[in-house]
Structure 1
Amino acid sequence: MVAPGGGSREEFWQRIVDGRPAIRRISRFDPEPFRSQIAAECDFDPAASGLTPREVRRTDRFVQLALVAADEAVADAELGGVDRDRLGVSLGTAVGSTIRLEDEYVVASDHGRNWVVDHRHALPFLYQSLVPSSGAAELATRFGAHGPAAVVSTGCTSGIDAIGHAYSLVQDDEADVVLAGASDAPISPITVACFDAIRATSPRNAEPTAASRPFDNDRQGFVLGEGAAFLVVEELGHARARGARIYCEVTGYAARANGYHMTGLRPDGFELGEAIADVLHQARLDPSDVGYISAHGSGTRQNDRHETAAYKRALGEAARKVPISSIKSVVGHSLGAIGSIEMAACALVLQRGLIPPTANLHTADPECDLDYTPLVAREAVVQHALSVGSGFGGFQSAMLFGKPAEES
């Protein structure tokens, strides 16, 4: 894990259960020209995190975050004896090498003055930045993974979908073990300008830590973030045979697309509700069996109401009894990475019996009338945790984690 306010899994966990937002004025560039001038930045030093000067020079920040997060996952999983020919990589990202591409365009075009650019002024590694598959290639090379390697880019559901792809690879016996997760580093002028243009991000610049307010009646949009999280996915018997530490079991994954609007959502939450119902069917669970939901909870009025409708549609009366929270209130919205960060949070909830709160939820939107766990963490024995994602383009994904049977 590399996330805002924490350089490791444990630092991340402590921050989300404390409900302490890691949001501040953007420091990577001068944000003064923009409507939204805040973000959840990672305090990340690639050299101090163990990357070599060569790795830093040839890779974008999103790849660097991925390498460091994956290092922690691989070390924790103790993959030393795993057959590398049966080890795969599934990397999710929404915007890839945004920072490197923008920086190099600025140099090559002399700050946009030249329509025809001179490629000789750009770094020699520009192709690696242009092609998102370079992230998966870097991970595969680092860990000697000779099995399937792929990039999943489905916008803000990329993190869930990348783990879902890994789940399918193991089910289909294409790999014994898959390093699965996502990374994004979108905090750059071009990204901030794009979200400014559609007024999707919060302009609450004077009070950054109060800006991300999922399900709150006083919300004004989401807060951009960055980060990476990786999980090691393998067949349960394979993990037990090698004595691996098992956090949870993937018991269901589903994705839908609404074909409705590029950025808009149907207010009835139909497609997201269908994805939730699908994962419950796969896991052979009743709605009442869900013990926690990690919400998409971006903090836009449209998304929060759509999501609330989806829970009611899929879970019925059980939707009013299950605790739900959005950790985007603490770590912001890191686009493609956030799904894997939220799935990692679900794994820790199952293991540690503590539900992180939704920070800044003081006055609930009357249309978001479910138990969104305001302000304070809650102890709970959770057997099954659901996480959902919703992305521009109509992407809707859901994944269910459960405690392995012997640990229930």
Structure 2
Amino acid sequence: MTRRVVITGIGVRTPGGDGTKAFWKLLTSGRTATRRLSFFDPSRYRSQVAAEADFDPVHEGLSPLEIRRMDRASQFAVVCARDAISDSGLQFETFDPGRVGVSLGSAVAAATSLEQEYLVLSDSGRNWLVDHASLSPHMFDYLAPSAMPAEVAWTVAAEGPVTMVSNGCTSGIDSVGHACQVIREGSADVMLAGASDTPITPIVVASFDAIKATTDRNDDPEHASRPFDRTRNGFVLAEGAAMFVLEDHEHARRRGAHIYAEITGYAARCNAYHMTGLKPDGREMAEAIRAALDESRIDPTDIDYINAHGSGTKQNDRHETAAYKRSLGAHAYRAPVSSIKSMVGHSLGAIGSIEIAACALAIENGVIPPTANLHEADPECDLDYVPRTAREKRLRSVLTVGSGFGGFQSAMVLRQAGGARA
């Protein structure tokens, strides 16, 4: 019999809120956390809008040594992991460390610290030759993405499988999907899984400027992220993290754990087509959705809500709309859809895990977060996108999807806890 995987702990840090409760309050209120970029002078950039988190590592309980050693993205991951552990009620010190693992996702890892170090050593790029003696002693940790899951593993002395997943913007779904597979195959009983990204740096902003993927609606930052709206013109870069305690269902049941949701299906595909382009028919995303539904052993008509990738770029919104129609058939017109990127922006590899958190909380509370700033849908985006106001609805099965540069397409199904499976 296949082991079942459930979510028993959640930790979130996003723009507009400090912790999971604040995150959920933001989503259900339909408020946006997008604003003019403040981390550095954005005046020379095409896109000057961002969704920044008001994150204070001292307030979050990190020691001076941890703050010095860890990149901002690692700090987010560790703080969220600690929250998820506390939320789960699991006493890790009494647990076999060989049965605990970590699966962490990130698109750009320690980009913040790498760029800061370069700017210091090169005098903001003025010097070609730099003094290596002035290099941070923690430079290896910034250079090697594996330092991030290692930091999370140290929080609970995890000695089981520890993995870094970096698949661009699907990293946050793929890392959780990998963790589920580790538990199902019996290599671990508990996994700390999720993703973290803090990409609001000059080089990342410039990179997306170059391909005009981000919005230039700089005069109205609060309403700049407009997934599925006819007037959308790109995504809003963001930062954030979400971490989960995942457990074998029987293990969680025996200890009387609170279960947010069960993860019943996951699949990933690639279009093998173009680094940034998407085929308009949505075929590869549709195939990932169908495979996730098959693993869940449910029919497309069982999907009560779709948490969209919904980045706010025209090609993505049309691509995934086509994918829903292709995979769900007529039910695509009946299933409510929304994009939380309209409120918390697009935190690259982290957003997939943040969206999983939103799905688990939507199931828990029977509320569908809205798509903020959606006033006039693109005629090609003709589904039920839940505009501006949250909607109450009992949710038993929820689909969440991710799409990333390189052609990565991922899908995951979460179900209400307590339901029997064949």
Would you call these one fold, judging by a TM-score over 0.5? Answer: yes
2:89 aligns to what?
78
User: What are the within-5 Å matches in structure 2 for residues 116-265 of structure 1?
Assistant: 116-265=129-278
Structure 1 letter corresponding to 2:22: E
2:358 aligns to what?
345
User: What are the within-5 Å matches in structure 2 for residues 55-66 of structure 1?
Assistant: 55-66=66-77
Q: Does 1:67 align with 2:75?
A: no
Q: Distance in 1 between matches of 2:416 and 2:371?
A: 23
Name whichever of 203-212 and 106-115 sits farther off: 106-115
Q: Distance in 2 between matches of 1:117 and 1:388?
A: 43
Q: Distance in 1 between matches of 2:289 and 2:83?
A: 30
- Correspondence for 1:3 among 14, 39, 50: 14
Deviation at 1:244, TM superposition (A): 1.2
Structure 1 letter corresponding to 2:145: P
Structure 1 letter corresponding to 2:54: D
Check conservation: 2:98, 2:159, Cα contact below 8 A. Answer: yes
Structure 2 letter corresponding to 1:275: A
1:284 aligns to what?
297
User: What are the within-5 Å matches in structure 2 for residues 101-112 of structure 1?
Assistant: 101-112=114-125
Q: Distance in 1 between matches of 2:166 and 2:95?
A: 27
Deviation at 1:143, TM superposition (A): 1.4
Report the TM-score, using the length of structure 1 for normalisation: 0.99
Structure 2 letter corresponding to 1:48: H
Structure 2 letter corresponding to 1:46: P
Deviations 1:298-357 (A, max 9, x none): 000000000000000000000000000000000000000000000010001111000000
Q: Distance in 2 between matches of 1:252 and 1:381?
A: 20
Check conservation: 2:82, 2:155, Cα contact below 8 A. Answer: no
Q: Distance in 2 between matches of 1:274 and 1:117?
A: 49
Structure 1 letter corresponding to 2:400: S
3-state SS, counterpart of residue 244 of structure 2: strand
- Correspondence for 2:52 among 31, 41, 48: 41
Q: Does 1:317 align with 2:334?
A: no
Q: Does 1:52 align with 2:63?
A: yes
User: 4+ residue stretches of structure 1 with deviation over 4 A?
Assistant: none
Q: Distance in 2 between matches of 1:163 and 1:88?
A: 12
Deviations 1:279-316 (A, max 9, x none): 11111111110001100000000000000000000000
Deviation at 1:113, TM superposition (A): 2.3
Deviations 1:222-250 (A, max 9, x none): 00000000111111111111111101111
Q: Distance in 2 between matches of 1:9 and 1:324?
A: 22
Deviation at 1:114, TM superposition (A): 2.4
Q: Distance in 1 between matches of 2:298 and 2:112?
A: 43
Q: Distance in 2 between matches of 1:406 and 1:203?
A: 46
Structure 1 letter corresponding to 2:209: D
Deviations 1:163-185 (A, max 9, x none): 00100100111111000000000
Structure 1 letter corresponding to 2:298: L
Q: Distance in 2 between matches of 1:56 and 1:407?
A: 45
Q: Distance in 2 between matches of 1:179 and 1:82?
A: 14
Q: Does 1:397 align with 2:398?
A: no
Name whichever of 109-118 and 134-143 sits farther off: 109-118
Structure 1 letter corresponding to 2:305: Y
Any unmatched runs of 5+ in structure 1?
A: none
Deviation at 1:406, TM superposition (A): 4.7
Deviation at 1:407, TM superposition (A): 9.1
Q: Distance in 1 between matches of 2:154 and 2:417?
A: 31
2:7 aligns to what?
none
Deviations 1:227-274 (A, max 9, x none): 000111111111111111101111100000011100000100000000
Name whichever of 180-189 and 279-288 sits farther off: 279-288
Q: Distance in 2 between matches of 1:369 and 1:399?
A: 23
Deviation at 1:146, TM superposition (A): 1.0
Structure 2 letter corresponding to 1:330: M
Deviations 1:95-128 (A, max 9, x none): 0001100010111122222223222222110110
1:99 aligns to what?
112
Name whichever of 217-226 and 241-250 sits farther off: 241-250
Any unmatched runs of 5+ in structure 2?
A: 1-11
- Correspondence for 1:362 among 368, 375, 382: 375
3-state SS, counterpart of residue 405 of structure 1: coil
Q: Distance in 1 between matches of 2:239 and 2:331?
A: 33
